[in-house]
Amino acid sequence: MAVLPLRDQSASSPSTSKRPRIVMAENSQYKQVLSTILAVILVFQMINLIEALLSQSNMDLVTAAIGLGICGLAILFNSLNMFMVASILLISVVDLGCGLMLLTTPMGLDVANLPVFDVLIVSELIAVSLLPAGSVFIVAACNITFIVADLLLQPHTPELHMLLNSTMVYNTVVQPVLLQIVVAAVTYIWVRSALKALARADRAEEIAELRRRETERAHELDRGIEHLSEVLTRAANGDRMMHAELRQSNVLWRLGNTLNLLLVRLRKALQSEQENKRLRGEIVRLNMALFEERRTNRLRTWQTRQQNQHERETPPD
């Protein structure tokens, strides 16, 4: 009996959100198990159809046709990923087949038909495997109600009538009812334990994944800090073209962008300072040239005046 993980929502924490990859894997597993059960039931339905054709029993033909029709609907809903509807249809195929087998006996309910009551536990196994675990008690209650009602209301053969009036009535009535209760309780406990174990395993896997991500994030943070420290050191040593290179997934990405912006502005400020220094040098050179030009002009003017005065003071020949 296959147990599908986390189909019973009460077995897991409501605050736990599953990753898409896990959900897809669970859906694929659920579909595979449901398809396997469908295939087995289809085989039995085909066998019933062949037997009905050989026996030329109209009732058996109708029963087999109904079973195949319901299986076809279950296949359709399974392909549409409507797993709960398909599971309910499978349960109805089993219960309906057993019920029609008992209710359509021409001579009434016979001792040979009593083992069919035990076959009803198949519907419980399907319910506990494909539906929430608590649904097995609903199916068991329906099966027990059918067993009791069939024994009380359906006509009996003389052999069964004698058996019910004997001391073996306990085994006849109580045994199939008790079997339904025991199977329901045991499978519920087993499936609940399995689901809890799977939930703990999933939780442990999630914790391990979180720890791995935290470790990677810590390593990435250390690498980012080391890289930014190297950028600052090289920038302080005169490498003006140095800049931070961090991926956007890094937690220090914003800080790296801010540092790059600061380095760009620093380079522009240094370029402006160099340009100002060059301009100040040009201004000093121009001032010196202007000063030399003025001094030269003043010297020329003084020499001209001295020459003119000398010429005035010197008498002509």
**Side chain identity at residue 193, one-letter code:** S
Rounded to whole angstroms, how far apart are CA atoms 196 and 202? 10
| pTM (2 d.p.) | 0.60
Half-sphere exposure of 212 (CA within 13 A, CB side): 6
Neighbours of 60 (CB within 10 A): 19
Alpha helix segments (H runs only) across the chain: 20-55, 58-79, 83-103, 115-119, 121-130, 135-153, 158-164, 169-236, 253-313
pLDDT < 50 stretches in the chain = 1-3, 5-17
3-state SS assignment for residue 21 = helix
